[in-house]
Amino acid sequence: MRTIDLDSLEIFRAVVAEGGVIRAAGKLHRVQSNVTTRIQQLEERLGHKLFHRQGRTLALAPAGHKLLPYAERLLRLADEAESELRSDLPLGAFRLGSLESTAGSRLAPVLSRFHKLYPGVVVELVTGTTGALLKRVNAFEVEAAFVSEPFSATGLHTLSVFDEELVLITARSVASVVRPAELAGSTLIGFAHGCSYRRLLEQWLGKGGFAPGRSLEFASYQAMIACVAAGTGFAIVPVSVLKALRATADVRQHALPARIRANHTHLVWRGTPSVALARLIEMMSKP
């Protein structure tokens, strides 16, 4: 039976983070030869090269990319186990993923309350589309993520946490949009593919026999809404985001069919939750 000791994983993670053995040795207060030997021993134990040398730096080999999320997870669990034995409260870093819309309109009071209850936890928030966040959860790059419907939750645990109302927005000069065909000649404005809201909008447009000839992709709702307000095109957004950004007066809102309008945000995670995640789940499960 092969085992990987935590010290070797900590050295491996430090070499990745520092981009080389010399800086990793300094950070870990070890001699350079010891770090090099431990990496070589780890590679021999696993039967794979973990790094490629590029000049004076080291780059992760495919096997290194596979090992890194497991190393992060095992080291986190070790820290968590020690913290749990020392204290009844969760401690340390807690990596959480979120949609841009959820982070901007829903999470401030949630994270504020969580911080008051568990001040020893440092929340590291990562934003992205539903598709990108699900990949991060499955790769253990984040412990959990807030994602929107529709999504596939194969192998994941889910908890519905927020109800959202989605609306179509256009420039104020557009009087009414009832059917997709009325958007002919307009540009779709949204996040990159992988966004659940964009997927719903494209499905509605497709069923109406209309496909936008052009699309513009942005990384923030502020940019999207400003572009729509300027008359560049149309987008789909949660009403909560318009209110949070105080942008309700900048654009015109158009009702979408009920099957699209009513949406839910879910917290998703894989495997047994950490102590910090278990506390967040418990907190958000209460009415």
Tell me the whole-structure pTM to 2 decimals.
Answer: 0.70
Q: What pLDDT score does 1 carry?
A: 46
pLDDT per residue as tens digits for the range 246-286 = 999 999 999 999 999 999 999 999 988 888 899 999 999 87
Q: Which CATH architecture has domain 83-162+264-285?
A: 3-Layer(aba) Sandwich (3.40)
Q: Give the fold, CATH level 3, of 164-262.
A: D-Maltodextrin-Binding Protein; domain 2 (3.40.190)
Q: What are phi and psi of 24, to 5 degrees?
A: -65, -40
Euclidean distance between CA atoms 22 and 33, whole angstroms: 9
Q: Is residue 46 classed as helix, strand or coil in its secondary structure?
A: helix
pLDDT per residue as tens digits for the range 211-249 = 787 889 988 899 999 999 999 999 999 999 999 999 999
Domains in the chain: boundaries:
6-68, 83-162+264-285, 164-262
Euclidean distance between CA atoms 112 and 128, whole angstroms: 21
pLDDT per residue as tens digits for the range 187-199 = 999 888 788 999 8
Beta strand segments in the chain, E:
51-54, 57-60, 92-98, 121-127, 144-148, 157-170, 187-190, 215-217, 233-238, 252-254, 262-269
Give DSSP secondary structure letters for 127-142.
E--HHHHHHHHHTTSS
Contact 141, 69 (CB under 8 A): yes
- State in words which class domain 6-68 has: mainly alpha
Identical fold for domains 6-68 and 164-262, yes or no, is no
What does each C-alpha distance from 102 to 143, 203, 218, 224, 241 come to in angstroms?
17, 22, 16, 16, 8
